[in-house]
């Protein structure tokens, strides 16, 4: 079966040149193939598009009417192709970005104004939640993910490290003492994060690769880092929090980072992920490049921290 769009292009070219052989030369096709395309259109439509004699070819009245519609269709297709091509090289159009609630509101949303100044033809839709979204099913252009990546089918770019600290308010430490070793944590009220990909709320991992597992317990668990931060600031207990949440508190001294005898896990990071595509749209590349530049070499939330 012949391609209908190609048949329209052949028909329009024959009508413009007034010759089957001339259209064939202009399009780099054989005259036989041009004839087949025109015949296929006529058979499908049930009308004659051209009057043919041995000396000349002229368009019929029905062909003239069909030509007007064909030219509109071809112009629309050309415009659509051009728009898609521009989106490949120029950041433009709707960019849908998904990410975790706390990181998104604290670290992504404040950067949108500057990005928009640089790329005014991009409209951004932010969707923040703490579940693992399906980019293809839900129509997201890219997602920000923190921790170890689960889906190897995604293209990922590392944007920044995700540093974790065990911290507490000065009021809690004054009342309950300061733990020096990870073994001391068992004697403290440890507030648990329930959405951790690496461990449960009752187990904290230490060591470069998370090889040291420490059992902890406490009277509060939450699926939101800001909720744990608020409780920690109020002196309820110890929390193990990413610095992108508690950096301002550590700098202000309202929370104290505890230097324990084992290093924090080093495998966690902030990534941008998107669906496999040899040439992702320019809007996706531009946004990821912008975040990478803003988060490098030291992410802004870690400035001034030891």
Domain identity same for 136 and 275: yes
Tell me the residue range of the domain where 282 lies: 93-161+268-302
Looking at 89, 115, 141, the residue that finishes a domain is 89
Which segments within 44-88 are labelled E, that is strand? 50-52, 57-59
Task: Tell me, yes or no, whether 263 lies in a domain.
Answer: no
For position 58, which CATH number holds? 1.10.10.10
Spell 166-177 as b/e; 16+ CB within 10 A means b. Answer: bbbbeebbeeee
- Extract the tokens encoding 95: 């960019």
Q: Let me know: does 203 contact 213? Beta carbons within 8 Å.
A: yes
pTM: 0.71
In this structure, the answer to whether residues 235 and 175 fall within a common structural domain is yes
Same domain membership, residue 98 and residue 83? no
Shared domain for 155 and 272, answered yes or no, is yes
The answer on 277 and 148 residing in a single domain is yes
**CATH number of the domain encompassing residue 279:** 3.40.190.10
CA atoms within a 13 Å half-sphere pointing along the CA-CB vector of 255: 28
For the chain, the domain total comes to 3
Confirm if 158 and 268 have CB atoms less than 8 A apart.
Answer: no
| pLDDT tens for each residue of the chain, 306 residues long | 568 888 989 999 999 888 898 899 989 999 999 999 999 998 989 999 998 887 788 899 999 999 988 988 888 887 777 666 665 668 999 999 999 999 999 999 999 999 999 999 999 999 999 988 999 889 999 999 998 887 677 899 999 999 999 999 999 999 999 999 999 999 999 999 998 866 678 899 998 888 899 999 999 999 999 999 999 999 999 999 999 999 999 999 999 999 999 998 877 899 999 998 767 889 999 999 999 999 999 999 999 888
Cα separation of 268 and 161, whole Å?
Answer: 7
* Residue 144, both tokens: 């920000």
């Amino acid at each position: 079966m012949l391609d209908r769009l190609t048949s329209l292009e052949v028909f329009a070219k024959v009508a413009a040149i007034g010759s089957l052989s001339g259209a064939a030369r202009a399009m780099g096709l054989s005259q036989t193939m041009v004839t087949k395309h025109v015949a296929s259109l006529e058979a499908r439509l049930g009308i004659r598009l051209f009057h043919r004699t041995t000396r000349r070819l002229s368009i019929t009245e029905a062909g003239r009417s069909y030509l007007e519609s064909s030219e509109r269709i071809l112009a629309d297709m050309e415009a659509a192709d051009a728009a898609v091509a521009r989106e490949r090289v120029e950041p433009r159009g709707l960019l849908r970005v998904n990410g975790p609630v706390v990181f998104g509101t604290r670290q992504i949303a404040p950067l949108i104004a500057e990005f928009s100044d640089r790329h005014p033809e991009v409209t951004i839709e932010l969707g923040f939640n703490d579940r693992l979204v399906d980019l293809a099913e839900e129509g997201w252009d890219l997602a920000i993910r923190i921790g170890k990546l689960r889906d190897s089918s995604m293209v990922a770019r590392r944007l920044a490290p995700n540093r974790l600290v065990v911290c507490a308010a000065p009021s809690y430490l004054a009342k309950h003492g300061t733990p020096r070793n990870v073994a001391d944590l068992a004697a403290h009220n440890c507030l648990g994060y329930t959405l951790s990909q690496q461990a449960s709320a009752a187990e904290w991992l230490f060591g470069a690769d998370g090889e040291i597992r420490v059992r902890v317990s406490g009277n509060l668990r939450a699926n939101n880092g800001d909720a744990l931060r608020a409780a920690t600031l109020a002196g309820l207990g110890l929390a193990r929090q990413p610095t992108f949440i508690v950096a301002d508190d550590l700098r202000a001294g309202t929370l104290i980072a505890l230097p324990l005898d084992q290093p924090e896990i080093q495998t966690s990071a902030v990534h941008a992920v998107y669906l496999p595509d040899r040439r992702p749209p320019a809007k996706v590349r531009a946004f990821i490049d912008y975040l990478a530049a803003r988060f490098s070499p030291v992410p802004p939330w870690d400035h001034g921290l030891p």
